[in-house]
Amino acid sequence: MAACSVSAPPLSGLLSLVIPAHNEELNVGRVIPAATATLARLAERYEVVLVDDGSTDGTVAAARAAMGEEGDRLRVVSHAHKSGYGITVADGLRAAAGDWVAFMDGDGQFDPRDLEKLAMMADRADLVAGRRLRRADPWHRSVVSHTFNILVRLLYGVRYHDVDCGFKLMRRQVLVAASPILARSALLNTELYFKTRRSGLRVVQVGLTHHPRLAGVRSGGRLIPILRAVRELVQLRWELARSWKPPPTPPRRGSS
């Protein structure tokens, strides 16, 4: 993984990084040291929130070992059984205490040091979202993602590329505006975009390198979950129209 070449100014307050993980014992040992080194450069105070989604391997033990002397900065949220991506990320976002909250996958396909690239845009946006410049996944996953993004544009009016990229940084105000999070799948990313924009908050995207998975088993990409996601795409849009309204005035923005 190549280090980021920019030096981001510190973010004010507490910075939380949420890492969802299911059976990522072989990956979190690489992800967490790079993450903590980056967090320490970006904020005076930081925490790592690991959401263990019913892992049956040593994911949590590997994470604790990787934290080393910074172990008191690690918080673990545990699921007794596998609950899926959306629930796992949402639980991490609710547990995070930061003034700034980021999340990224624990499978090693994103470089944690790229969080600096997102932080460099923090003075311009309330939600800074990663966008994979090129997916390091099988071709069919790229086709599914492209189709998904077209449906998101049609149903939600969210006109951004790679909406489902799982690497984002946001102000606390975004989570306040987006609460409660309704999505129980990867549609959580769509919901964040939709509610952020409808709440009058700013969104900026940053291009990121997507790396091949080096260990573990890739989840998602199967036909039944894909069909379920399409159904949920319609259901969530209906639920948002029925039960959610943006705040009467945009939440007050903090300063970076």
Structural domain contains residue 101: yes
Structural domain contains residue 229: yes
Structural domain contains residue 249: no
What's the pLDDT band for 186 if we cut at 50, 70, 90?
confident
Q: What is the DSSP string of 101-162?
A: EEEE-SSSSS-GGGHHHHHTTTTT-SEEEEEESS--S-HHHHHHHHHHHHHHHHHH----SS
Dihedral sign from CA coordinates of 84, 105, 44, 46 = positive
State the total domains in the chain: 1
Structural domain contains residue 254: no
Q: In what order do the strands lie in the sheet with 74-79?
A: 74-79, 45-53, 14-21, 100-104, 167-171, 127-132, 203-208
pLDDT 10s digits, 115-167: 999 999 999 999 999 999 876 565 555 666 677 778 888 889 888 988 989 99
Phi, psi of 31, rounded to the nearest 5 degrees: -70, -45
Structural domain contains residue 193: yes
Q: Which residues are CB-neighbours of 3 under 8 A, at least 6 positions away?
A: 113
Q: Is the link from the previous residue into 180 a cis peptide, with omega within 30 of 0?
A: yes
Structural domain contains residue 171: yes
Structural domain contains residue 137: yes
Instruction: Residue 114: give its domain's CATH number.
Output: 3.90.550.10
Q: Which residue range(s) make up the domain with 39?
A: 14-243
Structural domain contains residue 198: yes
What is the value of pTM for the model shown?
0.85
Task: Please answer whether residues 141 and 221 qualify as being in contact, where contact means their C-beta atoms are separated by less than 8 angstroms.
Answer: yes
pLDDT 10s digits, 45-82: 999 999 999 999 999 999 999 999 999 999 999 999 99
Give the pLDDT score at 67. 97
